[in-house]
Chains A and B, each alone.
Chain A
Amino acid sequence: MSDLQTATQREACDELRELLPAFGLGAADPDEATWVKSRLADCPEAAQELTAYAALAEVMLYSAPPVRPPAYLAERLRAALAQAQHRPEPAVDRPQRRWLASRLPALAALALAVLLLAGGLLAAQVAGLRSQQRELAAQVERQSALLAAVGEGTYLRVTLPAGPAGEAAGAEATVICDPERSVGVVYARNMPPLPAGQAYQVWLIRGEERTSAGLFHVSEEGRGLLTFQAPLPMRQYDSVGITMEPATGSPAPTTSAVVRGPLYGQEY
């Protein structure tokens, strides 16, 4: 290699080394990054230096001020996982989840209101519910401090009577929702015991269309709770039904309703 070539290469390596810190951090512009990658093989010392900057960037991943995530985040993740088990992609799209996340306190208020409907039996209910319900109730309790910040809402509260499959047990359910929004809570009572591998599925009914609002299990006393997010504002739905379905859920009801009733016309 001639002196001229050596000098040219040295200059290129010097130029390369000037870009290495930014490249290691991922801050080089695309054309710069392409150029760096193309030149690294010619400058062994630069490659070594890049390793040091990449290591620095790795340590920076751990440099955020430590903050404890909210306790309910684990439950949210667990719920999202349950949905991911059923569908290739999360069932709730990003804007909806963002909307939901920003209104968790309101959801907690709704859920707590439902629990209070049982008249002071919150502790007994919590103890009797299966793990999912227990965790949700715990979430409600954790969020109760936020309730003071939640303004008065114009919520619809409707009691749904037993359907053909729930008459013998005297099943019923209360739905609380805001007609102008797409979140709500279903609190079911006196539900027949679920066979293994089965769950109750809540259906939002709009004409002939049935949309699943989610699955829930019940306690030994037949109580169950579900907070849900609907695709549309609740005023778009005519009625709500609950059927017994496989624990993974069904695309449409496959059994007779355990609870079923209109959302409007009996508001109190």
Chain B
Amino acid sequence: MTDPVGDPRSPTDQELVHRITQSDEGALMLLYERYGGQVYSLALRVLRNPALAEEATQDTFLKVWHKGVQWSPSKGLFSSWLLTVARYTAIDHLRRERRQVLSRTTPPEVAPWASARLPSVDTPRWQDGQVLRTLMEQLPAEQRTVIELAFYQGMTHSELAEHLGWPLGTVKTRLRLGLQKLRSLWQEATQR
């Protein structure tokens, strides 16, 4: 597994998760140092509310504390597992709060709370994700909208149709075409 911090003396994610199963708080805080920014960024993108994003971030790491043993290298990268937990945690918060996205047209980059930018995260996955975000901007707006709502708000076809007031068939088509095009753009970008 790639060491996310690039320092061979740093404990690997697997080692830290193992230490967490032995109730080592320091290990969890090391994981927070390593991934807290990514988790918070994702939570903020889902919730668009700093206070709720903080709560979701904290809940995510507490889940790791209680359930970290559920991850193993066979399940893939720890960071992907962690961000999946973070995504569902944030979406749960979103549903519980019954909050709708504040503005589908306001990118988080210009949102007022986004002034404190995260220093560049030097992991290939993170860089891939940032590339993918720029590729999404090439999609037609209606396709990008359904993809973002589906991913960041956890909406299904029916929920998207209700939320957007579009016919179900239109939603399905736009989501499918958008993802097909995004996949194609991604393949082009990664094969260069």
B139 within 8 A of A: no
**Residues of chain B with a CB closer than 8 A to A18's CB:** 172, 176
Pick the contact of A67: B61, B108, B160 (CB < 8 A). B108
Question: What does DSSP make chain B's interface, helix, strand, loop or mixed?
Answer: helix
Q: Which of B75-102 contact A (CB under 8 A)?
A: 76, 79-80, 83-84, 87, 96
B62 touching A27, Cβ below 8 Å? no
Partner of B151, one of A19, A57, A101: A57
Number of B interface residues in the complex (CB < 8 A): 69
Seen from chain A, the residues whose Cβ lies within 8 Å of a Cβ on chain B are 18-19, 21-22, 24-30, 32, 52-53, 56-70, 73-74, 76-78, 80-82, 84-85, 90, 94, 97-98, 101-102
Chain A residues in 8 Å Cβ range of B61: 77
Q: Is the CB of B16 closer than 8 A to any CB of chain A?
A: no
Query: Contact between B182 and A64 (Cβ–Cβ < 8 Å)?
Result: no
- Select B42's contact among A19, A64, A98, beta carbons within 8 Å: A64
Cα separation A62 to B28 with both chains bound (whole Å)? 20
- CB-contact partner of A60 in B151, B172, B175, under 8 A: B151
Q: How far is the CB of B76 from chain A (nearest CB, A)?
A: 8
> Main SS of chain A's interface residues?
helix
Contact A65 B107 (CB under 8 A): yes
- Say which residue of B62, B130, B160 sits within 8 Å of A63 (CB atoms): B130
Could you list 23 examples of A-B contacts with CB < 8 Å? A22-B176, A28-B156, A56-B183, A59-B125, A62-B129, A63-B130, A63-B133, A64-B42, A64-B133, A65-B114, A66-B118, A66-B130, A67-B40, A67-B44, A68-B116, A69-B54, A70-B116, A73-B40, A73-B54, A73-B58, A77-B61, A78-B29, A98-B51
Whether B62 and A80, one on each chain, are in contact in the complex, defined by CB atoms closer than 8 angstroms, is: yes
Q: Are A52 and B132 in contact (CB under 8 A)?
A: no
Decide: A84 and B121 in contact? CB cutoff 8 A.
Answer: no
**Residues A22 and B157 in contact in the complex (CB < 8 Å), given A53-B183, A73-B54, A101-B54:** yes
Interface string of B122-142 (1 = CB under 8 A from A): 000110111011001000000
